[in-house]
Amino acid sequence: MPKLKITGGNTLSGEIKISGAKNSAVALLPAALLSESKSKIYKVPKIRDIEYLLKILEVLNCTYKITNDEIEINTTKLKNAPIPEELSEQMRASYYFMGTLLSRFKKVEISFPGGCNIGARPIDLHIKGFEALGAKVEIIKNKYIITAERLIGTKITLDFPSVGATINLMLAATGAEGRTIIENAAREPEIVNVANFLISMGCQITGAGEDTIIINQSEKKDDGKIEVYPDRIEAATYVILGALIGKDLTIKGLIKDHINAVLLKLKESGVEFLETENSITISACSNPLPINITTEVFPGFPTDVQQPFTVLLTQACGESIITETIYESRFISAGLLNEMGANTFSKGNILTIKGKTPLHSANLYVPDLRGGAALLLAALTAEGTSILDNVLLILRGYEDVVEKLTNIGAKIEIIE
């Protein structure tokens, strides 16, 4: 099992180019099945989840060609087949095959999806939506079996604007007769990215990025084409790193509007940076101010960034509070930061951080993807050499992380 060896304390400068977004790409690959010929997806990050999704495409008799960061997927010989547990359990996004296979074949057999252990993470909203479209959902021995004679468009009002449920229902609705309306839809950029891909195939979708999405039946789905949006969570993580130990560190190739909520919180904390529509140039803030953050659905402060942001707040003099509203609790990594000298305390969905506390090195086991990103930032900031174990979780979400950090002056290497 690979580990990361990190010697912290170096000032980081230069440029980091943001990769395609994991959370978009993992929906776009399953979405490619809706094309009845072939699709091209540009700027696909080289991360482990993509490797597993490609294996699932093979199970479904699709072929693909990878050229640099482009993947061309040929679905002309697509066959429905059960998606085995050893693939579906590798990530949560395997559930997007529910939506696409239901749309194409009106039948799906898939073992339970996996994903980071950051709370209960039920998929009841997906299931209720499929049922509203006319599908029957059975759970038999760790497997979902979803069948429908016909899918019929209807109005679905989500109890919560879930990213996964919105995308999955949009995918399924492309195979429904008539019109489907998804109300209280999630508005995250990933939804717009997937909708634009489907529109490029000829699907009739309006409202993606707003709270009501309308999908009208369309007969033929042609070649699709899409560029994966830049990864807003990766971008925010590196911007926070710049606020910790950067010196004119430029994060480029991002979409500023996608991380506005994080930038506003950095400003509130007294961090200064230069911004353009596609880049942020940032240097370390020696005395960040303590602030309070509440995670929210987009365009609010993203839950995936609260863990990395916690590291910056350990360096603020005074008390900061993070209220997590998306997951019931997501503070395992904050507890681990205490082993590096931080002073955090969590109760339920509230995390209190008392600073300023110098950080020192430690050997730690990465608990989840974004928690791992937080430990990585802390290890880069801390004096001394830290070893992070279970880092495949970090590699799931951060393309070329070692190379990108080495290029800006970090001392980091993968060791076995």
Give dist(CA 263, CA 291) in Å, integer: 13
In the complex with ligand UD1, the residue whose CB is nearer, 90 or 361, is 90
* Nearest C-alpha neighbor of 10 from the set 312, 415, 406, 414: 406
Q: Are 320 and 289 in contact (CB under 8 A)?
A: no
Give dist(CA 179, CA 161) in Å, integer: 20
Q: Are 214 and 181 in contact (CB under 8 A)?
A: yes
In the complex with ligand UD1, the residue whose CB is nearer, 231 or 408, is 231
CB of 15 to ligand UD1, least distance (A): 26
Q: Is 373 left (phi over 0), alpha (psi -120 to 50) or beta?
A: alpha
Question: What residues from 323 to 352 belong to the interface with ligand UD1 (CB under 6 A)?
Answer: 326-327
Q: Which residue is nearest to ligand UD1 (CB)?
A: 164
Residue labelled with tokens 């880049």: 279
Sole binder of ligand UD1 in the list 124, 210, 272, 389 (CB under 6 A):
124
Of 4-12, 248-256, 300-308, 349-357: span binding ligand UD1 (CB under 6 A): 300-308
In the complex with ligand UD1, the residue whose CB is nearer, 290 or 371, is 371
Q: Binding string to ligand UD1 for residues 131 to 170, with x set by CB under 6 A, is what?
A: -----------------------------x-xxxx-----
Task: Examine the residue annotation and report whether 203 is marked as an active-site residue of this protein.
Answer: no
Residues paired with residue 388 on neighbouring β-strands, in sequence order: 4, 364
Q: Are 216 and 377 in contact (CB under 8 A)?
A: no
Sole binder of ligand UD1 in the list 3, 43, 92, 221 (CB under 6 A):
92
CB of 49 to ligand UD1, least distance (A): 8
In the complex with ligand UD1, the residue whose CB is nearer, 10 or 294, is 294
The torsion angles phi and psi of 237, rounded to 5 degrees, stand at -60, -45
- The residues, any chain, with a CB within 8 Å of residue 323's CB and separated by 6 or more, are 292, 293, 294, 295, 349, 350, 351
Contact flag: residue 187 with ligand UD1 (CB under 6 A): no
Q: How many residues bind ligand UD1 (CB under 6 A)?
A: 24
- The residues, any chain, with a CB within 8 Å of residue 78's CB and separated by 6 or more, are 33, 60, 61, 62, 104
Strands 3-7 and 411-415: antiparallel
Quote the crossing angle between the two packed helices 189-200 and 163-173, to the nearest 10°. Answer: 10
CB of 124 to ligand UD1, least distance (A): 5
In the complex with ligand UD1, the residue whose CB is nearer, 153 or 302, is 302
In the complex with ligand UD1, the residue whose CB is nearer, 92 or 221, is 92
Contact flag: residue 123 with ligand UD1 (CB under 6 A): yes
| Pair of tokens at residue 22 | 């994991």
Contact flag: residue 304 with ligand UD1 (CB under 6 A): yes
Catalytic residue among 116, 203, 285, 317: 116
3-state secondary structure of 149: coil
Give dist(CA 143, CA 109) in Å, integer: 7
- The residues, any chain, with a CB within 8 Å of residue 56's CB and separated by 6 or more, are 30, 83, 87, 88, 94, 97
CB of 160 to ligand UD1, least distance (A): 5
Sole binder of ligand UD1 in the list 28, 50, 125, 271 (CB under 6 A):
125
CB of 214 to ligand UD1, least distance (A): 20
CB of 155 to ligand UD1, least distance (A): 18
**Residues forming the active site:** 116
Residues in contact with ligand UD1 by CB under 6 A are: 23, 26, 92-93, 119-126, 160, 162-165, 186, 190, 302-304, 326-327
